[in-house]
Structure 1
Amino acid sequence: MNTITSIGSPLAYNQFLLQQEFYNVFMKKFPELKYLDMKSIKHQIFYFPEARIRLESLCELKCDTSIDSSYFYGLVQLCQYIQRLIVVNSDPNDYHGIAELIRVQKNLKYFEWKDDHDFYISGSDSYGEILLALEKNASTINHLNIYFMFINNRTLQKVLPKLLKLKTLVTSFVRFNEEQLKMCIYRDLEVFKIDYYELKAASIIIENSGGRIKKIFLESSYEFDDFIDNFNDDSLNFIRKVYENCLSIESLSLVLPSSKQHFNEVENLLKKCKNLKSLLLAIYMNAYVRPEEKLLLENGKELLKIINKSTPTNLREIRFLYDVKFSLETLEEFFKKWKGQHKLSILTCQPIYREQNYVILINKYRNNGVIKDFRYESFDNVVNMDFKI
């Protein structure tokens, strides 16, 4: 829009008038409006003559908090049946307008909030208005994706347990104690995303779910630090909770140390979770001392042995991170034993697999139909479980 109007006139006021006329024509020509991205709109379109008829049908709204609250107040009267609401918090000053818009909704199913600023928010309840407005929609919200940069209130602990109909949950439980976590029971949960350092919280949520979870993603950068308390025990318990409570799991990311006990539990998981299609394995040994090459190769050999031994019938994709490496001999042995199974894709962010000897071996078994692909990808692509091969 800005590009089009700038061609007509370089003057800001003239561009403003051109934009206003465009939106006015837009409102007259289209019988109903289903999707609106407010981030680039500077006009209060709810004042246009046809606004009520057009905006009453709005199903999805994208906006950011830099928009003046008066704009949201104008939408409150017209848009009460929004189903998807996505908010980028770029200006954390006044949430009254957006909170009121959330509160009046009658069929809100998907809500997403992302902090995108570097300002520290003072006060004891900075997100309280937003969370309490969400609570009013507890009977309809199925999908919740909220990222709060500064959690300095207790409203989140009060509201999340009341959103009982969630099918998708993406958030942090870093401020929750064990008692509060056990109150978060989501029997319809299907997609669950949480930071990798919250394994204990994730285990509790999974244990109290209804057994319908299909996707579990451990998010963040996977930049491990020694401050993670009880990492070994929590990661072991997490694996067990998955195969005990999530037999329908299709996509999963695991973070674990390279112990025999952890590897045995991975094998148990592969044998029990028959629907698993995509698996990310992040193996972590020591944050400050680089493991010896021998240990990395042993990890790789053991993991491929487990995968071959368990022969998961639906597994189509495996991603490897960090302290794991495959020798040419180990890789070829795995390919030979995998022959006759379904084609498998393997992703890694280690550049060694672009070396000529590895490329020749991988191409051989790709051309023979044993594997679909074995690719070196960027770290971001490997950890992004939505990235498709």
Structure 2
Amino acid sequence: MTCQLPSDCLNEIFECLEEDTLTLHSCLLTNRLWCGISVRILWRNIWDFNKSSYQQNPFRIDSSILSILYACLPNESKELLQKNGIFISTPTAKKPLFNYVAFCRVLSVRDICRIVDNAFKHKPPHNSLSLEDRNYLVINEIIKMFEKQIYSLKKLFYYNNHYHINYSFPYFPGIRNLSELHCSSNLPSNFFYQLAQLCHNIQTLSIDFHNYEALNELKEFISLQDNLKSLTLSAYDASWESILPSIKNHSNITRLHLYGDSDKLPFSFVSLLTNLQEFIFSFFNGSTFEEFNMFQHINFSKLHTLKIPYQCPKPEYVMKFLENNGKYLKKFHTDENDETLSLSIAKFCPNLRNLFVIFNSGETDILKTILLNCCQLESIKIWCGEGYLTENEVYETVADYAPPNFCELKLFNESYSDVVSPDELECFFITWKNRKLNYYYGYNYLIDDKENMRIIEKYVNLGVAKYETIGYEEEDKEEYYYYY
């Protein structure tokens, strides 16, 4: 006789699988009880489906989601679409088993537009409607359905696009629970105005800056948020300067990400955010970032993560910052390959656990110094190859000087000629027999060497190491939702 776990126990178990969409999908096929529990979790954020599956067959996945959404549409919406010559096949002729839309807690206008565009890309309209008008009708009816049926919306992704979708917030019962908003600055004024009347508990806010259509409404909306903790500002053809007075009132922000293409973007307001725990400073075309110099005397006593990918301020500015705040950092990331800056990490950041810094050729002593002085270090990411340290130099130095808690090595090598020999690789793994290593290798050159792969598999099977190949772009990847 089989024993069936009660539904509340199954629900707790399945909740732990929320990020494992493949396993949850297999649970759908077990029985009706498992299906009912897992489908609710899968549809909370249907836009976050398995990325590898999507890359393999995006058209099939987009078409499947659109078919289910169409099946859930109210009859009046289906009649409107059919009247305009728009017919979408459904999984079955019967009514859907579940009201899938009601399970959603995340709404992404960008993804709805993409799904409709992809599904109709090779299907010309059957009547006088243009392709854009047809797609707009479908998108609008789907969004109206979401507005009326989501009773507790947690995240909203809404960027301006050529369809000019407008919300009807008075008919959107779930919007009051919104805690995370990702949007562009050039949305219609009524969007921010209505949102300001209903939502005062945004904790995570991300804004892409373009030309302003609703500056005053946007400023008011930001000012009214009582619990703003995480803020992301991106500006590549505009500035966020006009909304800074609204941001300065939110001194409790703990997570700040700044993205731009110019050092002319103002960021001195950061000095007021002394509760910061995570700061990402990412710019492409700056020069010296003079404003960064003012941070050297500010005490960010709660800051545990600092990332400066791409262009770095003057190394002396960053060194002064580390002198005052380095002792608090647990994670530091910079693409700057400056000897004095690297040595300052060893001097001022004794509590680091995770590090990425670039070492030039011949700088094994600097790597050694960091490993000896950063005694809490658990993970390091290193460039190898031409102009940088060789793979074998990294292996030998890490093997000899890694601190006791060290357990993760990530290597990125753009030089095929610098791949380590099998004997050198085995010597490295032998040193880890008494502790486990998470080993990541970028650019896949290593897997071209069958003997090296045999050695890696040997030590993986022995339980000495875990191994995974990764691309540099997969590291510390942020979720971006750009406008059309």
Query: Normalised by the size of structure 1, how large is the TM-score?
Result: 0.75
Question: Match of 2:434?
Answer: 340
1:341-384: CA deviations, max 9, x gaps? 323414232514422222222223333333322x4433423xx1
Name the amino acid aligned to 1:45.
Answer: S
In structure 2, the residue corresponding to 1:249 is in which secondary structure?
Answer: coil
Name the amino acid aligned to 2:322.
Answer: I
Question: Match of 2:211?
Answer: 92
Within a 5 Å distance, the mapping from 1:170-319 to structure 2 comes to 170-172=280-282, 174-176=288-290, 179-198=293-312, 200=315, 201-209=317-325, 211-218=327-334, 231=337, 235-259=338-362, 262-283=363-384, 286=387, 299-319=390-410
- Within the candidate set 257, 263, 271, 1:145 is matched to 257
Alpha-carbon spacing, 1:311–1:182, altered in 2? closer, same or farther (3 Å): closer
Question: Match of 1:136?
Answer: 249
In structure 2, the residue corresponding to 1:314 is in which secondary structure?
Answer: coil
In structure 2, what is the Cα distance between the partners aligned to 1:167 and 1:284? 34
In structure 2, what is the Cα distance between the partners aligned to 1:19 and 1:206? 50
In structure 2, what is the Cα distance between the partners aligned to 1:95 and 1:203? 40
- TM-superposed deviation, 1:136: 1.8
Aligned residues: 342
In structure 2, the residue corresponding to 1:106 is in which secondary structure?
Answer: coil
2:436 paired with 1:326: no
In structure 2, what is the Cα distance between the partners aligned to 1:108 and 1:70? 22
1:140-178: CA deviations, max 9, x gaps? 21111121234435x322x11111111110124852256
2:277 paired with 1:167: yes
Alpha-carbon spacing, 1:141–1:344, altered in 2? closer, same or farther (3 Å): closer
In structure 1, what is the Cα distance between the partners aligned to 2:349 and 2:318? 13
Question: Match of 1:110?
Answer: 230
In structure 1, what is the Cα distance between the partners aligned to 2:259 and 2:267? 12
Alpha-carbon spacing, 1:210–1:187, altered in 2? closer, same or farther (3 Å): farther
Question: Match of 2:267?
Answer: 156
1:62-87: CA deviations, max 9, x gaps? 22234212311222222222111122
Alpha-carbon spacing, 1:386–1:213, altered in 2? closer, same or farther (3 Å): farther
In structure 2, what is the Cα distance between the partners aligned to 1:205 and 1:363? 43
Return 5+ residue gaps in structure 2 as ranges. Answer: 1-64, 85-132, 479-484
- TM-superposed deviation, 1:111: 0.9
Cα-Cα RMSD:
3.3
- TM-superposed deviation, 1:239: 2.6
Name the amino acid aligned to 1:345.
Answer: Y
Alpha-carbon spacing, 1:84–1:281, altered in 2? closer, same or farther (3 Å): same
In structure 2, the residue corresponding to 1:187 is in which secondary structure?
Answer: coil
Question: Match of 2:107?
Answer: none
Alpha-carbon spacing, 1:343–1:69, altered in 2? closer, same or farther (3 Å): same
Name the amino acid aligned to 1:340.
Answer: N
1:253-293: CA deviations, max 9, x gaps? 0112122xx3222112222323322211124754xxxx9xx
In structure 2, what is the Cα distance between the partners aligned to 1:84 and 1:171? 17
In structure 1, what is the Cα distance between the partners aligned to 2:334 and 2:377? 16
Query: Normalised by the size of structure 2, how large is the TM-score?
Result: 0.62
Alpha-carbon spacing, 1:179–1:334, altered in 2? closer, same or farther (3 Å): closer
Alpha-carbon spacing, 1:247–1:386, altered in 2? closer, same or farther (3 Å): farther
Q: Is the 8 A contact 2:343 2:366 kept in 1?
A: yes
1:285-319: CA deviations, max 9, x gaps? 54xxxx9xxxx7xx333322211211422222212
Alpha-carbon spacing, 1:156–1:21, altered in 2? closer, same or farther (3 Å): closer
Name the amino acid aligned to 2:267.
Answer: L
In structure 1, the residue corresponding to 2:377 is in which secondary structure?
Answer: coil
Alpha-carbon spacing, 1:269–1:136, altered in 2? closer, same or farther (3 Å): same
1:78-137: CA deviations, max 9, x gaps? 222211112234x4344603233212222211111234x6xx44xxxx321133321121
Q: Is the 8 A contact 1:254 1:281 kept in 2?
A: yes
Alpha-carbon spacing, 1:369–1:25, altered in 2? closer, same or farther (3 Å): closer
Name the amino acid aligned to 2:470.
Answer: E
- TM-superposed deviation, 1:320: 1.9
Alpha-carbon spacing, 1:15–1:349, altered in 2? closer, same or farther (3 Å): closer
Within a 5 Å distance, the mapping from 1:331-370 to structure 2 comes to 331-370=425-464
Deviates more, 1:270-279 or 1:187-196: 270-279
Alpha-carbon spacing, 1:109–1:16, altered in 2? closer, same or farther (3 Å): same
Q: Is the 8 A contact 1:354 1:376 kept in 2?
A: no
Higher helix residue share:
2
